[in-house]
Structures are given as C-alpha cells and as structure tokens.
Structure 1
Amino acid sequence: MGSDFTINMNEYLPLRDLVFNTLRQAILKGELKPGERLMEIQLAEKLGVSRTPIREAIRKLELEGLVLMIPRRGAEVAKISHKSLQDVLEVRGALEELATDLACQRITDEQLTALRDAENHFKAVVERGTEMEIAEADEAYHDIIYHATGNQRLIQMINNLREQMYRYRLEYIKDEAQRGTLISEHEKILEAIRIRDIIRAKALMKEHIDNQEMTVSKNLNEAEERSRQAAGKR
C-alpha cells in the first residue's frame, strides 16, 4: 500500500468521518486502486488512527459500493463495473447538456475569457502534468460552464455527483491516446458556446460524454480479457 494520501484534518468533523472521507477520496481519485486490499492495520498506521474508525469507514464504503467484502480475503476496493459507469455517465450527460444549453444563453464575456484560459491551461497540463493534474484541469474547464448557467440548484446537483464522476474522468484520462481528442472536444465546445449555438454545443457535449463512456467501457473489456487470459495460464 504505497499510495501517498494522508488524513484530511477538520476540527469540525469527528474522527470516523475524517477517516471515511479520506479513504473515499483516495478510492475515487485512484490513489487506492480497484482490487487493492484494504488492510485495517496498515491503514491505521498510515493515517495515525486506531483500527476502529478504519473498520467503520470500510463498512460505510461497502454500503456506497466502493468497497467489496471478499470471503477469506477481507475488504478490497471495488472494481469499476459497466453498470456503474453507465449509471453515472447517463446522469452526468443529462446535467452537462442542460448546463451547456443555459451557458450558451447566459455566459458573460469574463466567463468566456476564463473558459479560454482554462482550456489553454488544460492543454499545457496534458503536455507535462500527472493524470490527477489533467483530471483536475478538465474539471476546472467544466466548472466554468456550470457556473455560467447561473443556476445554483443545477450546480449543486452536479457537485453532488462530482466525486463519482471523478473516478471515471480519471480512468478516461489514463488512456493517453484520448488526450488529444479531449483537447479537440473542449475547443469545439468552447467555440459553440462563444457563438451561442445551443444545438451544436449540446450535441458536442453529448459526444464528449459518450466518448468517455465508450473509451472507459472498452478499457474495462480489455482489462477483463487480460485477467481471463492470465487466469487461463495458471
């Protein structure tokens, strides 16, 4: 367990919630990887806590579907499934299309400038950044579109889904062959929003999300096939 994550201290939260939030973030960001075993003693030592809040956090993570309890093996990080991928991206797609529609109507000149700056930053980070930095730059680009809607309820709904989306965003970005496509899609969406072409902007955003689902699904299939082949050679 070599992942470099630490507990996120917050004086207003009880320790069990701090541990839960820390482990949840580590899973969603890929710091704890799918299939990785969660050893209570090692995690307790790493975070500097007793085993009790670790055990409580693992139970809650199991309820969220982020952890699986395997007989005679214990807890491990749940692998990404095709169903969970589809469920999250269907919701994200609908919210993103609505956000794009509203942003086309309401975006200000200052926000357009910020969106251009965010895209330039994204391109720079793709060239030299880590996977997590690229994911965060991608998230920052989309955040500007969300805030351009001026709809706080919509922004809140998207934020509620943010952490679940992050896991799939990171999986997509791990595929280096798709990074050029991401840049191109961002550019096209930005231009459609700039000229306030609602129909084109929404179609481009749908394509953007659909490509993410297809790529991650393809990579899942390939990973499953490699696992089957490896098992057959044993």
Structure 2
Amino acid sequence: MKKRTKRLLPVQLDGYKPLREIVFETLRDAIINQTLRPGERLMEIQLAEEMGVSRTPVREAIRKLELEGFAVMVPRKGAYVAGISIKDINEVFEIRGALEVLAVGLAAQRITEEEIEEIQRHLIKETEETEANNLRSIVEIDTTFHDLLYKAARNQKLLQIINNLQEQLHRFRSASLARPGRGMVALEEHKKIIEALIARDVDLAKQLAKTHIEKAEQTFLLSLEKQGLYTDED
C-alpha cells in the first residue's frame, strides 16, 4: 500500500486542553483548509504517526469528527473525510441566512451602547488581521463578530439554534474567507451592518445581513468549484 505523504505537523501540547481535543482540532482544521480532502480515508496509524500521538486520541477525534459532520464511517472500510454536496450547502446557508437576518433585525432594536462599542473595537482588530492576511485569525474574528450580533439579539432560543450549526458554519466560513479578497469584502460588509445597527435601522440591517450571507455562500461555492471539492449528490 502506498504511504500517504506526510502533511500534518506534530501536535503541540496544551496544559489546558485534553490531548483528544487538540488532536480533534488539528484534524478538523486540516479538513477545513483541505489538507485532508473530501473522500480521503482517515487512517488512524498514519495520522497518529504524523501528529506524534498514540492511536487512542486519534480514534476518539475521528468519532467526534463523524458526530459533527466532518467525517463519515463506511462499514468494513473505515472513516473518510465527508464530502460536501450542493444540497448540503444550500440547506445550511438557507438556515443561516434566515437566522442571521432575524438576529440582526432584533439586534438593531436591542443592542446597547456598550455592545456597539465592543463590536467597534472588534472591527479594529478585524481590520488589522485582514490587512495582514492572517486567515486563522480572520476566521476566529469573523466568528466572534457574528457571535456578538447574536448576543445583542437577546433571544436565547435563537442563540441555541445557531450554536447547533456552528461546526458546519466554521467549515464553510473558513473556505469562504480563504478565497482571495473575500476577507476585505466581508470586513466592509460588517462595517455597514454596524452602521445600520447604530442608526437603529431594522430594515436596512436585515437587508445587509441577507446580502452578506448570500455573498458568503457564492464565494464558498466558487472556492469549492475551483478545487473540485463538492458533488451534486443529495
């Protein structure tokens, strides 16, 4: 059997995180950035060797990847990186778009001055990381930006529903923001949304949020199409 080219670095231990969680995050990031591509088999022994760990945390990480939709288990064959279908993408973005519009509309009515100031400080950091083209930080900051909007909506049930989508959204967000130029465009879209919130313009805020998600989906699809990473299967 031909051995897969080594692409993962040894994991760095963290005193605050269990090893299985570090291994999971390493594999998840490798799937998100396409180091491990859809349809590729996840071989416990090889992955363990590359990351410098035993097979046990790798096995546990693969189980978690399967639970969160990043991997699929094929009977008598093993685990594989999950593919992404057009149907999957459309369904997730349909849900995200509806939830985002609702959240931003509520935030325009309920956001406090302190929260506006917090988001504005956040945008300064987003600007710095976007100009530095630091993808990992951009993804984390983008996630935090939307989390702050959801918090400002003050609807706990809405927040719970959005949280259920977070892992899939993380995968999609990373691929979208990785496309050249998208980070800067997203930053400008964020600034316009905040301006609408400051003005308490509910309709404008909702429209900007809708456009923001639609553009994110379009960029994500273009990114996957260029790399041949999605299928038309249901």
In structure 1, what is the equivalent of residue 195 of structure 2? 191
User: 1:167 and 2:171 equivalent?
Assistant: yes
- In the alignment, the residues of structure 1 paired with residue 204 and residue 138 of structure 2 have an alpha-carbon distance, to the nearest angstrom, of 26
Residues 157-216 of structure 1: CA distance to partner in whole angstroms, max 9, x if unpaired? 222211210111000111112222112211111101110100110010000001111111
- In the alignment, the residues of structure 2 paired with residue 47 and residue 22 of structure 1 have an alpha-carbon distance, to the nearest angstrom, of 15
- In the alignment, the residues of structure 1 paired with residue 167 and residue 69 of structure 2 have an alpha-carbon distance, to the nearest angstrom, of 13
Q: CA deviation at 1:2?
A: 2.9
Q: Which runs of 5+ in 2 are unaligned?
A: 1-5, 230-234
Contact 2:28–2:65 (Cα < 8 Å) also in 1: no
Residues 17-37 of structure 1: CA distance to partner in whole angstroms, max 9, x if unpaired? 748844664356437532344
Q: 2:117 aligns with which of 102, 107, 113?
A: 113
Contact 1:29–1:132 (Cα < 8 Å) also in 2: no
Residues 40-97 of structure 1: CA distance to partner in whole angstroms, max 9, x if unpaired? 1122332522x35544653564465422467998543223332222122111111111
Letter in 1 for 2:178: K
Q: What SS class does the counterpart of residue 76 from structure 1 fall into?
A: strand
User: 1:214 and 2:189 equivalent?
Assistant: no
TM-score by length of 1: 0.79
Q: 1:32 to 1:224 in 2, by over 3 A?
A: closer
User: 1:42 and 2:46 equivalent?
Assistant: yes
Letter in 2 for 1:88: V
User: 1:58 and 2:62 equivalent?
Assistant: yes
Identity between Structure 1 and Structure 2 (%): 40
Q: What SS class does the counterpart of residue 176 from structure 1 fall into?
A: coil
Q: 1:176 to 1:75 in 2, by over 3 A?
A: same
Q: Larger % of helix: which?
A: 1
- In the alignment, the residues of structure 1 paired with residue 63 and residue 147 of structure 2 have an alpha-carbon distance, to the nearest angstrom, of 32
In structure 1, what is the equivalent of residue 106 of structure 2? 102
- In the alignment, the residues of structure 1 paired with residue 126 and residue 228 of structure 2 have an alpha-carbon distance, to the nearest angstrom, of 31
Q: 1:62 to 1:146 in 2, by over 3 A?
A: closer
Contact 1:38–1:77 (Cα < 8 Å) also in 2: yes
User: 1:33 and 2:30 equivalent?
Assistant: no
- In the alignment, the residues of structure 1 paired with residue 160 and residue 166 of structure 2 have an alpha-carbon distance, to the nearest angstrom, of 10
Letter in 2 for 1:76: Y
RMSD (CA atoms): 3.0
- In the alignment, the residues of structure 2 paired with residue 57 and residue 167 of structure 1 have an alpha-carbon distance, to the nearest angstrom, of 16
In structure 1, what is the equivalent of residue 141 of structure 2? 137
Contact 2:119–2:145 (Cα < 8 Å) also in 1: yes
Letter in 1 for 2:53: G
TM-score by length of 2: 0.79
More relative contact order, 1 or 2 (CA 8 Å, 6+ apart): 2
In structure 1, what is the equivalent of residue 3 of structure 2? none
In structure 2, what is the equivalent of residue 3 of structure 1? 8
Contact 2:31–2:37 (Cα < 8 Å) also in 1: no
In structure 2, what is the equivalent of residue 231 of structure 1? none
